[in-house]
Structure 1
Amino acid sequence: MSGALSNKAQCPVCFSSFSRHIIASHAAKCGVKPTAGAWSALMRSTAPKRARSNALPDAPAVSETQSASRLNPPALPEKPEKPQSQAVPLAEAMRPQLLSEYVGQTQVLEDGQHLWRTLIERNQMPSVILWGPPGCGKTSLAHVIAQKCKQDPKHRFVKLSACTSNVAEIKEVVKVAKNDWQMTKRKTVLFIDEVHRFNKLQQDAFLPHVENGTITLIGATTENPSFSLNSALLSRCKVIPLEALSTEAVVQILERAKDQCASEFEVGQDCLTYLAQMSNGDARTALNSFQMALDSNAESKIINLDHIKESLRRSHVLYDRKGDEHFHCASALQKSIRGSDANAALYWTMRMLQGGEDPLFIARRLVRISCEDVGLADPSALGMAVSAMQGCQLIGKPECNVILAQCAVYLARAKKSHEVLKAMGQVIQQISNSEGEVLPGVPLHLRNGSNKLAKDLGYGLGYSHDLNKVGHMSYMPEGLEDLNFFS
């Protein structure tokens, strides 16, 4: 037993145990190029130790032929590879290998004008968070960086997904990264897809290692980093906002897919253009729909517009009730009503409903708009909005859609006034500016003198219920009598 254990050694990079006969070749595969002293220490760790007196008898000697057969077992017959179309989805197969193949995001990677392109080309990326909608190229950009790392012996690229990874895996990556840097001065670039799915505790596991440079973190997220990521992690990373791809960019990606993976198919340019227009700037959606059309017409090798429409038939609208799209559409609705654009107000109302928005959320927003933007220019707007909200509560989805549509159009066509809103803001500002000071008391004649003690203190003294007199009294606190919030 002791003889067998003495013949084992642990790799300083991956910490796996190997026979002393093959530890040297394995360490070279892991990228270990230690100094002569370190190499001697490694070999000393693999040398057999002197057996103790109570050790078991040594195992029978093994011939060189038997040893070679154990170290190099006969290769198993390889399984035939599946065709590319079956083995890898088209969206994955079309990932760019070089930065020159990357399509879109010119505002970040425009040739010769932006810092990020230079840093990627030089393999000097800092820790960054790639933030953008689905299918805009976050993972593809990370894939380009991974290819750059593979070409550079001084960099190592590791990919994890927040959907399937945990803190233990993160610690293991950090542990290997530390040994990599100590042994070979090789930096580790860690890519975390869907990083917003990590909770606060899991995100904290990155902090010290990102800060001291043990790892370079590249995170990809579809959620607003300000809400989904720790502020401490954000302060250590640069946020790169990516936009939904333009129709031209998606067409370019589809043309490349056709030339490389479907050159034998007959596909009209109108099909690619229509597919790009209907994908909402999501290249993954476009490529997946294109692949469905190719697979369903593999025999005829002809793709027409009807085939594309069939593959693109969808039951949802790009909308996230808990994400940025939720607030973007609500903002667009209110601004359309404020601008008296009934056409746009109806569009945004229906888009939110079709995306699965809670009708009561829209109704509450309309109630607010009826006072904030319509105001006293049409006092009946508030009653209309409240009635719409109550109607939504009574009949629910989907019948309540016409109630919300009517209310949105009414508010958009109504006259607008910010008189009350502006006056309210001035009052709040005046009160806020009094912080640290004692607010002026209620004048004695306005106080409630409902009992003898209150009347003895002068509460209500001088106040009259006579409607002919109430208009000639002062109702503001002392010192603010001449202040007019409506002027």
Structure 2
Amino acid sequence: MDSLFSNSKQVPLAHLVRPKTWSEFVGQTKVVAALRSITKPTSILFYGPPGTGKTTLAHLLAESWKLEKRYLSCVTSGVKEVREVLEEGKRLGTIVLFLDEIHRFSSSQQDALLSAVEEGEIILIAATTENPSFRVNKALLSRMLVYRLTTLTEEEEDQIFLSCLEKQNTNRTISETVKQELFRRSAGDARKLLGYLERILFATKEGEAITDERLSEILGDTLVTYDKNSESHYDIISAFIKSLRGSDPDAALFYLALMLEGGEDPLFIARRLVIFASEDVGNASVHALPLAIATWQAVERVGMPEGRIPLGQCTTFLASAPKSNASYVAINQALSYVKQRNRSFQIPNHLRNAPTVTHKNEGAGVGYKYPHDFPGHFLKERYFPESFYPNPPSFYEPTNQGMEKNLKEQLERLWGDRY
């Protein structure tokens, strides 16, 4: 009989098979090695995706240090519960406080931990799925060792899966394709993997063969793991933009699909495409920005799921188009130049506007030469303030990419050495 069913309290399988020793722990090899080398109890912060071992590592550390441990979740606990543990620490001596989801605590709630950590009344082991640089007080971070945990590999998931089956002493037959589907659904989250296995064990009988169809009946559909409010949101949009910049349409489409399936706002994606079209494609293809604007408007007007079509078109075009950030660099350099000069500029008189008689009497606009009156619709004229000459600044350096090559050749023909 499965040990899961002999569990009268129905403790979740993930908790039932939690590793009790370092040798049983799977994954996070470098972190485990670093932790096992710590001889003096010290406050630690673990951050990383769900189901990667943060809670288990906290338990193993407390056991290795032979200290009393208390567990609080910042989802359900507040300052009152924390203070009770702090008082207990003063009374009993140093104890380990494991604080899960520490990013849920406000800045003032986190501040309440500082003195106790500083004075050694508690050894704080905290866990978060968020980047601590954004969600944990700097003062508290400075008093802790920080370790980042990574998503489990398929090989590590396989070790956990087989170990759990062995501990449950089950003779159900689980095919390799079913196992691969479980790994796909759990996406490196051991807790989720064991949760799926638990549902399978409850829904099937001893000796039963678990087929792909049976698995779908038990688990139903799965959703893409994507949290718009977490660090993964920024990581995925970053990967999307960098794939576009790297001219890999397939990778860009993958991240686009991941965002759309995860429920990302399609207008957020469209806005990023508009920025990319101007920043990274620029004048190498003057079709990029109009297409991106049209995509934004199309998504706004037709909505989803049809909006995926213009998003896909724009994504593949921008990824495949020649790239130039010359105009992006140019405006940034011009802005920097203006800020550094930090003084007023005298607009050349021949370039001034002359809307009134007074302006004309002052000579505004006098001497301006209309380029269209000259051969080739061009003449060499001074357009910068006079004080900038004889060496006016240069901001725009067109590249040889795509259509921008034509602009470069045109400017070189007109201005010579300036371009």
Change (3 A) 1:101 1:477: farther
Look up the match of 2:402: none
TM-score (structure 1 length as normaliser): 0.74
Q: Give the structure 2 partner of residue 218 of structure 1.
A: 125
Match of 1:338 in 2: 245
List runs of 5+ in structure 2 lacking aligned partners: 398-419
State the shift of 1:466 in Å.
5.5
Give the share of equivalent positions with the same residue, in percent: 39
Shift of 1:125: 3.6
- The change in CA–CA distance for 1:442 and 1:204 in structure 2 (over 3 A counts) is farther
Distance change in 2, residues 1:189/1:454 (3 Å): farther
Q: Answer yes or no: is the 8 Å Cα contact 1:337–1:408 preserved in 2.
A: yes
Determine the structure 2 residue equivalent to 1:134: 50
Note the 1:468-479 alignment, pairs <5 A.
468=373, 471-479=379-387
Task: Find the aligned partners of 1:405 and 1:100 in 2 and give their Cα distance.
Answer: 47
Paired with 1:281 and 1:456, the residues of 2 have a C-alpha distance of 77
2:66 is equivalent to residue 161 of structure 1? no
Residues 75-122 of structure 1, C-alpha deviations (whole Å, 9 max, x = no match): xxxxxx982276211111121111121110113224xxxx32211xx3
Q: Report the RMSD for the aligned CA atoms in angstroms.
A: 2.4
Give, in angstroms, the shift of residue 306 of structure 1: 3.8
CA contact (8 A) 2:203 2:218 kept: no
Where does residue 417 of structure 2 map in the other structure?
none
- Given that 2:280 and 2:325 are in contact with CA atoms closer than 8 Å, whether structure 1 keeps it comes out as yes
Q: Which has the larger radius of gyration?
A: 1
Letter in 1 for 2:352: R
Give the aligned partner of residue 237 of structure 1.
144
Contact 2:371/2:379 (<8 A) preserved: no
Whether the 8 Å CA contact 1:191–1:217 is kept in 2: the answer is yes
Pick closer, same or farther for the CA change 1:245–1:480 going to 2, 3 Å.
Answer: farther
Unmatched segments (≥5 aa) in structure 1? 1-80, 182-186
Per the TM alignment, residue 460 of structure 1 is displaced from its structure 2 partner at its CA by 3.6
Equivalent in the alignment of 2:312: 405
In the TM superposition, what are the counterparts of 1:159-308 in structure 2 within 5 Å?
A: 159-181=71-93, 187-308=94-215
**2:15 is aligned with what amino acid?**
E
How many corresponding residue pairs? 389
User: Does 2:227 align with 1:323?
Assistant: no
Shift of the 457–171 alpha-carbon distance from structure 1 to 2, 3 Å rule, reads: farther
What code does the residue aligned with 1:90 have? L
Deviations 1:170-226 (A, max 9, x none): 111111211223xxxxx1111111111111221111122222222221111111112
CA distance in 2, matches of 1:266, 1:394: 51
Out of 3, 7, 11, the residue aligned to residue 88 of structure 1 is 11
Secondary structure of the residue that 1:285 maps to in structure 2? helix
- Tell me if structure 2 keeps the 8 A contact 1:193–1:219: yes
Q: Which amino acid aligns with 2:29?
A: T
| Cα distance in 2, alignment partners of residues 84 and 456 from structure 1 | 98
Q: What do the CA deviations read for 1:235-267 (whole angstroms, capped 9, x no partner)?
A: 222221110000000110011100001334344
Write out aligned runs for 1:22-171 (5 A).
83-84=6-7, 87-110=10-33, 115-119=34-38, 122=39, 124-149=40-65, 152=66, 155-171=67-83
* SS class of match (1:289): helix
- Tell me how far apart the structure 2 counterparts of residues 86 and 257 of structure 1 sit (CA, whole Å): 19
What amino acid sits opposite 1:473 in the alignment? E
Q: Specify the alignment match of 1:480 in structure 2.
A: 388
